[in-house]
Structure formats: C-alpha cells, structure tokens
Structure 1
Amino acid sequence: MNFLKLFATVSVVGAALAGAAPQARAEDSSDPIRIVTNDWTSQIVLSNIVGQLLESLGNTVEYRSSDGQLQYTAMANNDMDFQVEVWEGSQSESFNKALQQGLVDLGAHTAVTREDWWYPEYVKEVCPGLPDWKALDACAEKFATAETGTKGRFVGPPAAWGKHYAERIQALKMNFQEVPVGQAATLWAELQSAYDRKEPIVLFNWTPNFIEAKFKGEFVEFPEFDAACFKDPAWGQNPDAIYDCGAPASGYLKKAASPAFETKWPGAFAVLKKVNFTNPEIAAAAAMVDVDGMSPEEAAEKWISDNEATWKAWVE
C-alpha cells in the first residue's frame, strides 16, 4: 500500500475511533507483524483488512505469501505471525500438527465453510439424481473431454491445497479424473466458459465465496465426513482405502498466531482474538475484487469504510 492510501485508511479508522478506547500500543514491539497471505481472494482481502486496522492503531505490518500447508510450520517456528483464514476442509491436518509445535489457535469466525465438488444448477438437467455422488458417477461420460477420454473431468484446485481428490476418486471407484488448475482464477474461467455454453462441468468450489452471489449451484453429496475417513481404511465404503468420504459440510474457519505473538504484540493479539467475519461479509469482500475489479488493498479500504460497526468492536 502506498503512503497516500495508508494515510487515507488511517484517517478513516482514526476518525471512527475518536472517543473509543483502543488497545494500548505502547507495550507492542515495533517489529513488523508478518501476516500470511495465500492464493485465494477472500484470504488476501481479509488479511489486508486486519493489516490496515493494525497499522491504523500503530503497529507495523508486512504481508508474507505462503503455501497453504507449509505456512503452519513457518508460523509455529515464529517465521510468520498471523493467519486470518484457517480452513478445516483443506488445512486441518497441517494446522493440527502445528498446534502440537506451539502454533496458537485464536478461535473461530462465525462463518462456516464447505470445500468440495460443485456444479452449476443447470447440470441437473443432463444428470438426473444430483446432488448424489453415485448419480454423478453414472453420468461421468457427459463430463468427459479429449483430455480425460471416457472418464469424466473434475476440475480440481491447485495441487498445493492438499485436497486428496485423486485418492477419493480411486477409493470410491469413480469413473472420473481430476484435472487440477494452477491457480484459483482458472477455476472461475473454466466455470464461466462452461456456463456460457451450458456445458456440463463439475469443479472444486468453496463457501464463503463470491461465486455463490454470481452462480446458482450445489455441492455434490458424498458419504458424510468422519475423521476416521482420512486415517482408517476399515471406515467407510471401501475397506481397503482412506479418503472415501466428502468434506465437512459445516467446517470451521479459524485464526492462528505464532507462539511469540502474544508476548511481542499483546495489544494487537487482543484485537485479533476478537476479529470475526460472517459468510456474507467474506463473500462480499471477495466479490469486490473478483466481480467489481478492485485490488485487494482497495477492497479492504472499502470494507473498513462500510463496516465500522463491525470492526470498531474489535479494537475497543
């Protein structure tokens, strides 16, 4: 963020804080708080929202891009300091492992999450029985492409997101092939292209996300999630394989901090514990970038300007 934008944001927040009692900054370290950013829109915008709020309160902030799984090891080692979006469906394994190494769980947002296979509503016209996964598998050839031959194509997320969909396909013996994309934007380009031509498509999607405000659709219903599904082959439909289930239908969205955070920045720590976003707030924040064409920094500034009643409670 350039100086003029920072000054404008500080002015907006500072005016709103007049008469309030923000957390004391004197005890906080002058070292920069290293906020993790990932490769999807809502996480980047929310990171900028909390970063701009912390800057307005006197802290110094840096943004550090990181892999969705390796970030938690880095945070446990105090190499990065704060993550605003911890997704249960894709990050719980690496998150829980890092908790054993000292990572701090800062609590859950009001927002609940879901990450799984998804299709636009019109697909039900060509594949009766949806959203059941068995009905989808029976229609596999309708999703086939030159790349996948007779198998249906599932447009998967970037491989670094750690979703194990190829293993799910194998465990459930589905006639599908995962074709992962390199970045989230490619998912939406594939969806828009298929939507414009009303072609069958099934792809990775998640909520909260701007997509739900732009396209009507549904998640595929796989066998209900259980933690044993990822560990015990005897659980579930395939006694010889793990990953034979769907993702949590109402997963958590948490925040996390480095072990040293509370000691170095106690004022900022108290603020971040209270940061709390809802599903509509997150979807709207992402839409400002993915639909309206703003930069993440601009979207964060607008969100702060439009949602004083929400964030003021965090800093008081």
Structure 2
Amino acid sequence: MKKFTTALTAGVLAAMPFTAMAEDSSDPIIIPIHNWSSQIVMSNVVGQMLEGMGNNVEYVTTDSQAVYESVRLGDVTFELEVWEGAFGASFRAALEKGGLHDAGDHNAVTREDWWYPMWTKESCPGLPSWEALNDCAKVFATAETGDKGRYLDGPVDWLKHGKERVEALDMDFVVVNAGSAAALWAEIGAAEAEKKPVVVFNWTPNFAEAVWPGEFVEFPEWVDGCDKDPSVGPNPNALYDCGNPAKGYLKKAAWDGMKDKWPAAYETLTKISFTNPQIAEMAKLVDTDEMEPEEAATAWLEANKDVWMPWTQ
C-alpha cells in the first residue's frame, strides 16, 4: 500500500475547520487510485481535504472494475468516480451483494464512446453516423489492420466492449486496446500535425475536449438491457449493439461502514460534487501542465477554496 505524504499548504490548512473531527477513527481512510488523470487528481484532492480535517489517508492502486468489490468488503473506503458507461455494471453487481452504497452524484454529465477529432470529418463527411463511419472504414486502415479500419479502444480493464460492438454491428474495424489514457492522447497528438483521420475511445469530462475539438460517433441509442439482453437493440442475436449512455451519471460509492467509523469524513464525502469543468481542469493540470498528481491536487485546492471549503464545514 502506497502512502503519499503531500499536504496542503499552511494557508489552506489554516482555513479549514477542525471542530467535530475527533469523532473519526485514527485508522487510515483508504482511497483507490486508477489509471486516468481526473480520478488520480480528484482522489488526491479529496485525500488532502480529509487530511486537513485530521484524518489519516492512504492510497492504493486498484483495478477500476474490481474496486467495487474492494469497497464492498471495506478494503478501500470509497470510490470517487463511478462512470455509468464504464463501471455501472460492476457497481450494480456490488450493490446487489451489499456492503457498499451510492454516496451521491457529482454535478456532471458523462459520456464515453468512440470519438474523432474534427479534422477526421474531412475524410469521412457522413460522420457522426456510425454507418457512415463504417462506410469510411478503409480511411482508418493501417498496416496492422489490412483493409479494415483501426479503432483505438481504452485499456482492457476499462471493459469498453469495443470488439463486441464491432461484431454485433458487423463493422469493418479492428479494435486495438490502448495501454493507458496517455496512449489515447498520444494517438490524437500524433495525428494532429498531418490531420490524419483517427477514431479513438474518449470521454467527457476531460481536458481533451478543450485541446482537440471533436465529436462522438452516434451509434444506435442506448437502451437499458443492451448489455444483458440480445433482444434489446438492432441486432436480436448480440449484446452491445448500441452506444453508451449519452448523458451518463458520475457517482460516488462508499463502504457501508464508513459513516460509522469516519462520520465527519463521510459527511464531507456526501457533500462533494464536482462539475464537468472542474474535473476537466484537474485532468489538465496533469495531462497538459505536466504536474504531479499530488501537486495538481494542492494547486486545485488553493485555487478553488470557495468550492470545497463548504463541504468540510
């Protein structure tokens, strides 16, 4: 288990209230860390807030799907970014078992799906239609994909089901998984100079939308059950034959025992609600400004006292 020893600046610490914090256990609050920037920075932002309230905090790197089982068992204390499209199924499965609960939504709307930078539309003018994309498949072909298009999906552990969608919709694409979020940004950046058409997995909120204007591919509209019932969606014999939710939630999940063991910290957790621009700014501090996550968290806290200080009251 890795523990970061970064702390808020003296000025920020001095501004924080300390009244009812003796109620919280001295045991460390365990915060999971995943493999995309906003989640890492947000985890450090909240961790530093809780440290300023007098809590002990530790961070542990965890799988972004398995983390809900860890929260349910109390091995980690909470999860700050439950994306509906990516992790809704794992979250719901853990809820059904018991041991964790919905700790509230962020004031953010999420979307996760196939995406392209706007210059791509010059080579495939029928976009954002998925049928038009499929008709243009050869435009995205590479040496490794032959006469089929290349789609760069998210890391394998994000479970985006790109291969299943290609099969369900009979698309002329080969799905390649990126090793990290950074590999997705590198793909877009490498294509930018020559305005090479690319299609990659992307999501909002993150910093990329401010750097590279683009659009999501419009697949058949998400309907509940598309990932569980083959009869739902246009292909009656396959799952994942529709897009991800276009207006997905971003939730927090907490271990059931947190509210009794760390009541003050739990109350703060339930108040926390970040917006799309705030989350995008957290990611930008790392992905564009090249700050370390701990430094980015401190910088964000110092610049946004009016946002987070009421949550610690």
Judge same fold: TM > 0.5, yes or no.
yes
Q: How big is each residue's C-alpha offset from its partner over 1:91-123, in whole Å with a ceiling of 9 and x where there is no partner?
A: 000001111222121010001100000000011
1:104-253 map, 5 Å: 104-253=101-250
Indicate which of 261, 265, 268 corresponds to 1:264: 261
Q: What amino acid is the match of 2:172?
A: N
Equivalent position to 2:251, from 250, 254, 258: 254
Distance in 1 between residues matched to 2:175 and 2:62, nearest whole Å: 24
Residue segments in structure 2 that go unaligned for 5+ positions in a row = none
Q: For residue 80 of structure 1, what is the amino acid of its counterpart?
A: V
Q: Is the 8 A contact 2:168 2:235 kept in 1?
A: yes
The residue aligned with 2:89 is 93
Residue-by-residue CA offset, 1:45-65 (whole Å, 9 max, x unaligned): 000000000001100000011
CA contact (8 A) 2:139 2:197 kept: yes
Using the alignment, how far apart are the partners of 2:253 and 2:80 within structure 1?
Answer: 7
Give matches, 1:293-308, under 5 Å: 293-308=290-305
The answer as to whether partners of 2:18 and 2:54 remain within 8 angstroms in 1 is: no
CA distance in 1, matches of 2:18, 2:251: 23
Contact kept, 8 Å, 1:208 with 1:279, in 2: the verdict is yes
Partners of 1:85 and 1:230 in 2: CA distance: 21
| 2:57 equivalent to 1:61 | yes
Amino acid in structure 1 at the alignment position of 2:170 = K
How far off is 1:16 after superposition?
2.3
For the pair 1:285 / 2:265, whether they are aligned, the reply is no
8 Å Cα contact 1:167-1:243 kept in structure 2: yes
Per-residue deviation, 1:23: 5.7
TM-score (normalizing by structure 2): 0.97
Deviations 1:257-311 (A, max 9, x none): 1121111100100001001100000101110111011111111001100001000
Asked whether the equivalents of residues 113 and 206 of structure 1 are also in contact (C-alpha less than 8 Å), the reply is: yes
Change in Cα spacing, 1:82 to 1:203, as seen in structure 2 (3 Å) is same
- Partner of 1:227, secondary structure, is coil
Percent pairwise identity: 54
The structural deviation recorded for 1:197 is 1.6
How many residue pairs align between the two structures?
310
Q: Do the aligned partners of 1:168 and 1:244 also contact (CA within 8 Å) in 2? A: yes
Cα deviation for residue 163 of structure 1 reads 0.9
2:43 equivalent in structure 1: 47
Deviating more after overlay: 58-67 vs 232-241: 232-241
Cα distance in 1 for residues equivalent to 2:256 and 2:197: 47
User: How far does residue 12 in structure 1 lie from its aligned partner after superposition?
Assistant: 2.7
Quote the offset at 1:10 in angstroms. 5.1
Residue type matched to 1:296 in 2? Answer: P
User: Which aligned runs of 4 or more in structure 1 are off by greater than 3 angstroms?
Assistant: none
The CA deviation at 1:83 is 1.0
- Judge conservation of contact 1:81–1:258 (CA < 8 Å) in 2: yes
CA distance in 2, matches of 1:115, 1:272: 25
Aligned to 1:30: 26
Asked if the contact 1:23–1:270 (Cα under 8 Å) also holds between the matched residues in 2, the reply is: no
Which runs of 5 or more structure 1 residues have no equivalent in the other structure? none
Give the distance between the partners of 1:267 and 1:98, measured in 2 at CA. 25
CA contact (8 A) 2:4 2:58 kept: no
Deviation at 1:22, TM superposition (A): 5.1
Closer/same/farther in 2, CA of residues 114 and 2 from structure 1, 3 Å limit: closer
Name the SS for the 2:21 alignment partner.
coil
Asked whether the 8 Å contact 1:113–1:207 carries over to 2, the reply is yes
Contact 1:23 1:267 in 2 (8 A): no
Q: d(CA) in 1 for partners of 2:67 and 2:125?
A: 41
Aligned residue among 72, 75, 81 for 1:76: 72
Shift of 1:15: 2.7
Task: Measure, in 2, the Cα distance between the counterparts of 1:225 and 1:308.
Answer: 38
The answer to whether 1:15 aligns with 2:14 is yes
Contact 1:13–1:53 (CA under 8 A) maintained in structure 2:
no
